[in-house]
Amino acid sequence: MSIDPSRLGPMANAIRALSMDAVQAANSGHPGMPMGMADVATVLFSQFLKFDPAAPKWSDRDRFVLSAGHGSMLVYALLHLTGYASPTIEDIRKFRQLDSVCAGHPENFLIPGVECTTGPLGQGFAMAVGMALAERHLNATFGDELVDHRTWVIAGDGCLMEGINHEAVGLAGTLKLGRLNVLWDDNKITIDGDTSLSTSEDILGRYAASGWHVASCDGHDFADIARALSEAAADPRPSLVACRTVIGKGAPNKQGGHNVHGSPLGADEVAAARAYLGWTAAPFEVPADILADWRSLGARGAEARAAWEDRAAASDRGAELARRMAGDLPAGDDAAQTFAAWLDGAQKVATRKASEMALEVLTPLVPEMVGGSADLTGSNNTKTKATPPLTVADYSGRYVYYGIREFGMAAAMNGMALHGGVIPYGGTFLVFADYCRNAIRLSALQHARVIYVLTHDSIGLGEDGPTHQPVEHVMSLRMIPNLNVFRPADVIETAEAWQLAVAARHTPSALILTRQNLPQLRDAANSAGELRSARGAYRLKAAAAQRKVVLLATGSEVELAVKVAGALEGQGIGADVVSMPCWELFDAQDAAYHADLLPAGVLKVSIEAGVTLGWQKYVGDGLTIGLDRFGASAPAEVLFEHFGFSVEKIVPQILARLA
């Protein structure tokens, strides 16, 4: 069933009406972009997008990403008009209010039809690159009959100006992600005014130089829009379509100006727009015939989904795809048995090497794990024998060479995780987590199972000096809600961190790993047959003499804490050693466990080669041994001694406090 072309105008005006009504009712929001891109969105949804409102999570649906998330009423209107269960018209009436799923920017955890949380400009675009990458990977694995869909993006000038855009464009062009199509709202307006104030870039030229197909269209001519989108869909390269639009189209006195970008039109202009558009329906009402046109699109999608379900049921690979898309891990405990056997060893390795060892076990057993690195593969140790390169020649590969694109890598991994069927992990140096911090934050906000491998975790990296030595980074990552930050102390804790990270469906993880070798501190005797890191912290060593001190440490400093405890015990002072590989998991434990591990009436001392801010919540008025300044360039062992991370310098401080 196709829509009569004469009906497209009224359908687009329904988007405009709902958008201006919602923003006006909220007295807050961005009406300009939804009104300007209403025609393009109508053509996309009516002629190109594969979707079924009755099954928002259908695996083979096209992905639609509103990268210009400030124009959120565009996607809310589209979802409502096409018949998704959410948002309802009542939700739209309460746009931007506390009890409405129609938040100021689209949030994937509030509405199933929203593919990703957007708003920080450029990231929706970059996540779409990850979605397109996941589609090509799964297509190469499962074939056209099960995986054959596209990723469509609506992006604005801000999305194209942000630095992450350059990273995402380069990656998509290099990998020739031809199922990715970006519709650029080319309205030549930003918040400050005309785009000429801030850019003179040849945008189409830049994309073409990066290996993209580029096209242009009149964003208010339905036939021209359809022509350009057809060309984009047919081209084997990723496509950018410059849709020349008028921001706020339909508001006769404000369209085309920057003041319509982020402010309500005002009651008078809303009334003028209704007259200009010939829209006679009351606010938040859509005439039955126009709504019927929109709802008919959902029926078409239902037919496509039913045909796909028949193919999936008949395929011997259908169940495996369903497992991966559901986020379920493969059955069996082979990995756990392998890691348990490590307890009988005494491996002294850097935790970045221990991570590689754990990945060598996990990646053959969990085929949906797709790794990568931002040009630090040999340092991050993220590639395994089971993860051949993912390239244009072989999308079934499981290792992405992201290049020096930390931010782009992180956002792409978010897109891969949100697409489903892939558990992405990627590496860089911990100090460069700052480059991708906003994407890490969005991993947490979107409940995305993304794993960050962050190596060279402290002054222990040595001679590269303070530009590369992270000091504040671990603590700053711990500040992000819903992010599990693991800083393992040895090979056993590293294996446990990987098991926990892979199993965490709705929580991203950051593994903070050393460059320098660390001794194995855990064996069968002090493991009690359990995944001790799952509780976030545990008593690695109990005091022999009467307990006077509890030493808390993470990562490479746990070994030091054990030595400090030995020195204290030699003087008759009982000292527990508590390893705290993951604060977030420890904080989730009950009060009784906290009280047992951190009992009242004893001196608590934290030891971590990073800033001390934050440790006070565990040690109270105890001691915080750390590094509240930048590092220096020297061998690691020299630096640890110089900055006070030694038994000889820590024990006197403890004795002084106990005196």
Give the span between the Cα atoms of 40 and 68, in whole angstroms: 14
Distances (CA, A) of 548 to 283, 553, 603, 654: 70, 17, 6, 10
Cα-based torsion angle of the residue sequence 311, 315, 319, 322 in order, rounded to the nearest 10 degrees: -40
Residues of 131-166 as b/e, b for ≥16 C-beta within 10 angstroms?
Answer: bbbbbbbbbebbeeebbbbbbbbbbbbbbbbbebbb
DSSP tag of 592: H
| Tokens at 539, concatenated | 């008593």
Which residue carries 């074939």 as its tokens?
Answer: 143
Give the span between the Cα atoms of 405 and 477, in whole angstroms: 19
- Pinpoint the alpha helices (H) of 44-150: 73-82, 89-93, 123-142
| Tokens at 481, concatenated | 């809600």
Could you tell me which of 262, 255, 221 has the C-alpha nearest to residue 241? 221
34 in Cβ contact with 73 (< 8 Å) = yes
Could you tell me which of 539, 548, 561 has the C-alpha nearest to residue 647? 561
Cβ neighbours, 10 Å, residue 633:
15
Phi-psi region of 327 (alpha: psi -120 to 50; beta: other; left: phi over 0): left
Distances (CA, A) of 195 to 161, 191, 258, 444: 10, 9, 10, 33
Bridge partners for 484 per DSSP? 509
Instruction: Show which residues are catalytic.
Output: 406
Give the span between the Cα atoms of 655 and 652, in whole angstroms: 5
| Tokens at 307, concatenated | 């045909």
Could you give phi then psi for residue 194, rounded to 5 degrees?
A: -60, 145
Angle value at C-alpha 77, between 163 and 8, nearest 5 degrees = 100
82 in Cβ contact with 45 (< 8 Å) = yes
Give the span between the Cα atoms of 656 and 307, in whole angstroms: 75
Which residue carries 């030091």 as its tokens?
Answer: 560
Residue 43 buriedness (CB in 10 A; 0-12 / 13-18 / 19+): buried
Residues of 538-576 as b/e, b for ≥16 C-beta within 10 angstroms?
Answer: bebbebeeebbbbbbbbbbbbbbbbbbbebbbeeebbbb
